[in-house]
Structure 1
Amino acid sequence: MPLSPAQEHDLVHRLRHLLDSAVANGDIPSAVCAVAVDGKALEPVAAGDSVKYGNDGGLLAPSARVAAAAETMYDLASITKIFTALTCLVLVQGGVLDLDAPVSRTLAAYRGNPDRETVTLRHLLTHTSGLAPTWSGWRRRPFPQAPPDVRSPRRRELLDDLLAAGLLHRPGRSFAYSCVGYNTAMALAEAAAGTPWPDLLTSRVLDPLAIPDLTFAPGPDRCAATEFCPELGRGTVRGRVHDESAFVLGGAAGNAGLFGTASALLAFGERLRAGFPELLPAAAAEQMWTNQLPELMGTAAAAAAQEAGGYGQGLGLRVGQTGWMGRSAEQARGHNGFTGTSLLTDRDRRVTVVLLTNRVHPSRTSSDIGSLRPAVHETVYSALPPVDGPRLLTPEA
């Protein structure tokens, strides 16, 4: 059941108060929140300045700042992983990839080691491959002033370095969140399809969904600024991916690189809630939604991992990660991003919530949204009417 106009107005007012307070307290420089309830998108709420510090890291005069608005594009950071998993599933449906075949069949770098030869795409997309969380190969070379072309020798060398990373654990034995795994999935998809990653994700997912304002190549003037990085010669980053490994791998990677507005990501989240009928059969879409850990790790190990981390893991989606989703979101799915972004969607409660901030502006240590995310989600959940069961629908958002 949708909210009444009065209930919508009250929810938007409460969300605006939360965002304004977070900006006033210095928790974030800016934010835009978008919500859909039972298929209806509410008015987006914006607060703060999307550009508050200049290219030298100094605080801008009030007249020089750029106010956040519904049209502001944010670096989505690790929310990109949902799009990566979806692209891989579309390729699986097309016979280009296989979820459970060893990636060594396609990636020569994974041959010659018994454990690495058992790594599968499913392992990569569920963070159970045994790969390390991050890759430091970008630190061993001069940081480029611009992302290398996806066909350049430099990018190939860097990707080869990433693919040479050893395993910390045997595949399927433990859960460890891994950006390396998602960039390995990117390399696998590129090799199998013979297409550069940004072209692959765009042609297989973004173009068919036809949602404006989701892109790897935003216009900088529309973008919220992120971190001031003088040690890398980047100044204040704006309109280019903040994540260093994604930047050196071409600016568009499996772990990060997408930009979008809150309304665009909300529309994507509503398609996710409906199961992407334009892209996937229902059984394939359910692979994203279903917690994969019990089948991969065994029930006892998966239960221990979930108890330690407080959530499960689908293909690309966190399952009930209540630490940032909120205590009412045990059945929700979604992902958050390092730059201060998040997407949550809940089939049972028929709701999708997007919160985009640039909390790393001007520094990753200068602000914190640890309390804002769950507060926003709990505010939305508290406004929802009771439901008599889940309902999938063609969203209007």
Structure 2
Amino acid sequence: MPAPYGHVTHEIRRLLNQAVTDGVAPAASCAVVLDGEALPTVTAGTAAPGTCFDLASVTKLFTTVTMLSLVGDGELELDAPVGTCLPAYAHGDKSTVTLRQLLTHTSGLPSEWRGWERALADGRAFDRRRLVDDLLGTPLEAAPGTRFTYSCAGFNTAMALAEHVTDRPWAALVRDRVLSKLGTDGIAGTPDPERCAPTEDQAALGRGLVRGIVHDEAAWSLGGLSGNAGMFATAPGLAVFGESLRTGLPGILSPALAADMWRSQLPDMLGSHFNPADPGFGHGLGLRINQQPWMGAAGRDARGHGGFTGTSLLADRDNGVTIALLTNRVSPSRDGDDATALRKAVSDVVYSGKNDSN
């Protein structure tokens, strides 16, 4: 391994160990690939290279690829109203919502869907069919295509759309259309709990210390792997997906769809409502762009996603960089450090080491 890359590994190990010491997270793992060369996986705290972490919203990237695979097969259309397939969206102000809007957070849906909370308040057991109906009844907060508001509800709506069109369970669609084609066993929707880093102690919800079951409450109520959250991965496993994403998702999506996923969408989606300073970064199909608070200043052309549990995946085509950084920063409580500084520090180290080697 070239010396600069060895320095990258050393510095990442220092950062992860310091984060554990400082109480950012009890476990951390990082896998980096530079120009196709996988660096040694670095772990700290209670993590090992084979430890699975709850990816939280990094799951949205798998959702996006699954949806685009359905588009590629002609089962869905990006720019047709989803109401042509989904009866709950066939009328009223929802009748113009498109899949592209759902995948770019421009549908007008609110950030969250709280049907799970209402079910618990009513003392009802979770009934997935009833919960999905409740989800699909979520009213819009704005006209489609007039604002960007990050929406977990939108990604769960995309999941419901896929299930309705294919008449197949969401987990099976993700497995068959994405996971089975990646050549790694380091990503799963239903992991072995013994291999998983724990997340939050949710005694107030009757869950206790959550481990090997999705932390996100909406996804939990919907049975696990969902459109917004629920995927688990090891750092090396997530890096395999990141490299596939960086190199155009060969064997999964057509070059045209992979390019569309990568392309900045908000100027076209919002038109006269687009303000480059708000939200202050770009967005592709499912992909966050130029999120410098955690991607770093050198990651201006990077794509990826972060997760509430303290996870992130960064992929940069121009610079040949993939970074999978996983922590369980919500364990045992979500009230601590959100790991943004750690994610940025790791990104800065990787980009600096990459530049030093050129």
Q: Normalised by the shorter chain, which TM-score bucket?
A: over 0.9
Identity of aligned residues (%): 52
Match of 2:315 in 1: 345
Match of 1:44 in 2: 41
Deviation, 1:385, is 3.1
Deviation, 1:19, is 0.7
CA distance in 2, matches of 1:159, 1:137: 9
Conserved? CA contact 2:4–2:354, under 8 Å: no
Match of 2:13 in 1: 16
Match of 1:79 in 2: 58
**Of 104, 108, 118, the match for 1:126:** 104
Alignment gaps of 5+ in structure 1: 49-66, 149-153, 389-397
CA distance in 1, matches of 2:122, 2:36: 43
Deviation, 1:254, is 0.3
> What amino acid sits opposite 1:294 in the alignment?
P
> What amino acid sits opposite 1:128 in the alignment?
T
- For residues 323-348 of structure 1, the C-alpha deviation after alignment (integer angstroms, 9 at most, x for no partner) is 11111111000000000000001111
Conserved? CA contact 1:183–1:254, under 8 Å: yes
Deviation, 1:386, is 7.1
CA distance in 1, matches of 2:2, 2:244: 24
Match of 2:3 in 1: 6
Deviation, 1:142, is 2.7
CA distance in 2, matches of 1:111, 1:94: 23
Match of 1:260 in 2: 233
Match of 2:211 in 1: 238
> What amino acid sits opposite 1:259 in the alignment?
F
Query: Does 1:274 pair with 2:253?
Result: no
**Of 89, 102, 118, the match for 1:140:** 118
Match of 1:200 in 2: 173
CA distance in 1, matches of 2:226, 2:255: 27
Deviation, 1:143, is 8.1
- For residues 13-62 of structure 1, the C-alpha deviation after alignment (integer angstroms, 9 at most, x for no partner) is 111111111111112211101100000100011011xxxxxxxxxxxxxx
Match of 1:286 in 2: 259
CA distance in 2, matches of 1:37, 1:255: 29
Match of 1:392 in 2: none
Pairs aligned (count): 357
CA distance in 1, matches of 2:191, 2:56: 14
Conserved? CA contact 2:147–2:270, under 8 Å: yes
CA distance in 2, matches of 1:290, 1:118: 22
- For residues 73-129 of structure 1, the C-alpha deviation after alignment (integer angstroms, 9 at most, x for no partner) is 00001011000010010000101110011111111111221x200000000000000
Match of 1:26 in 2: 23
- For residues 324-380 of structure 1, the C-alpha deviation after alignment (integer angstroms, 9 at most, x for no partner) is 111111100000000000000111110101110000000000333121111110011
CA distance in 2, matches of 1:169, 1:142: 28
Q: Evaluate the alpha carbon distance shift between residue 29 and residue 6 of structure 1 in structure 2; reply closer, same or farther with a 3 A threshold.
A: same
CA distance in 1, matches of 2:328, 2:15: 16
> What amino acid sits opposite 1:186 in the alignment?
M
Q: Evaluate the alpha carbon distance shift between residue 327 and residue 261 of structure 1 in structure 2; reply closer, same or farther with a 3 A threshold.
A: same
Alignment gaps of 5+ in structure 2: none
RMSD: 1.7
Match of 1:312 in 2: 282
> What amino acid sits opposite 1:301 in the alignment?
H
- For residues 135-160 of structure 1, the C-alpha deviation after alignment (integer angstroms, 9 at most, x for no partner) is 11111113899x96xxxxx1000000
CA distance in 1, matches of 2:49, 2:122: 32
Match of 2:90 in 1: 111
CA distance in 1, matches of 2:156, 2:338: 27
CA distance in 2, matches of 1:210, 1:202: 12
Deviation, 1:290, is 0.4
> What amino acid sits opposite 1:374 in the alignment?
K
Deviation, 1:279, is 1.2
Match of 1:368 in 2: 338
Classify the secondary structure of the residue corresponding to 2:199.
strand
CA distance in 2, matches of 1:95, 1:38: 34
Conserved? CA contact 2:80–2:99, under 8 Å: yes
Conserved? CA contact 1:348–1:387, under 8 Å: no
Conserved? CA contact 2:199–2:330, under 8 Å: yes
TM-score, normalization by structure 1: 0.87
Q: Evaluate the alpha carbon distance shift between residue 205 and residue 248 of structure 1 in structure 2; reply closer, same or farther with a 3 A threshold.
A: same
> What amino acid sits opposite 2:85 in the alignment?
T
**Of 188, 211, 217, the match for 2:161:** 188
Conserved? CA contact 1:319–1:334, under 8 Å: yes
Match of 1:381 in 2: 351
Query: Does 1:301 pair with 2:273?
Result: yes
